[in-house]
Amino acid sequence: MLNLERIEAGYGESMVIRNVHLKVEPGQVVCLMGRNGVGKSTLMKTIMGLIKPRSGTISYCGRDITSFTPDRRAKAGIGYVPQGRDIFPQLTVEENLLLGLEAASDGRKRLPESLFETFPVLREMLQRKGGDLSGGQQQQLAIARALASGPKLLLLDEPMEGIQPSIVMEIEAIIESIKRSREIAVLLVEQSLEFAASIADHYYVLDRGTIVAKGNAEQISEEQVRKHLTV
């Protein structure tokens, strides 16, 4: 459903992403791994349309979306949770969630009930300011906001970063439940090899902007980890 071919992207003169080919099939969880600073977030932003690739093509559900604005990509069914969450701290939880609905292509105006089944804590906090939530709750809000519009592909950039261990398990459980439904494909930037190996159908390892390893999650080898993932 998502197909990147020969993607090159960067900032100004500096080229960060080089010749990246990557695929996500419907309902799959695909993990993107790599050390800090190798270009994972840059690649996610390029998929979402926040950075224009210098060359290459991005197709989604058989359509070339390389020239689409981020807004059009969201309407086409791509949800994005950036690194650092990016919720609106001054708005209530409900207002944050309603903003997520703007990307809905089916014109829905109400938050789906299923959202609160997945994130019961958010129902209790609907009138609280986003900024008053804990880090883990903000992350849940950011994921829920991206899911509110009913995307078919969810881009999750390091959702466990900076979150206390007990909440990490909750976020992992949410990603597992998304996977079980097989209705939404997930491209997940993840540092924990253990979680990546347990959840991913496929993985890609990025090193200095290039894909240096890929395969089924059970194929991740000790050697690849040593070479490309440990600092």
Ligand X SMILES: Nc1ncnc2c1ncn2[C@@H]1O[C@H](COP(=O)(O)OP(=O)(O)OP(=O)(O)O)[C@@H](O)[C@H]1O
Residues that bind ligand X (CB under 6 A): 11, 16, 34, 36-42, 83
- Pairwise CA distance, residues 18 & 10, whole Å: 9
Question: Least distance in Å: CB of 36 to ligand X?
Answer: 4
Question: Least distance in Å: CB of 77 to ligand X?
Answer: 24
**Centroid of chain to Cα 9:** 18
Task: Write down the H helix ranges in 34-156.
Answer: 40-48, 70-75, 93-101, 113-118, 120-124, 135-147
Nearer to ligand X, 33 or 199 (CB): 33
Question: Least distance in Å: CB of 51 to ligand X?
Answer: 9
Question: Least distance in Å: CB of 40 to ligand X?
Answer: 4
- Pairwise CA distance, residues 4 & 2, whole Å: 7
Nearer to ligand X, 58 or 103 (CB): 58
Nearer to ligand X, 148 or 158 (CB): 158
Q: What are phi and psi of 40, to 5 degrees?
A: -65, -50
Nearer to ligand X, 37 or 135 (CB): 37
Nearer to ligand X, 21 or 182 (CB): 21
Question: Least distance in Å: CB of 231 to ligand X?
Answer: 11
Angular region, 192: left φ>0, alpha ψ -120 to 50, beta rest: beta
| Residues contacting 6, CB < 8 A, separation 6+ | 19, 20, 21, 55, 56, 57
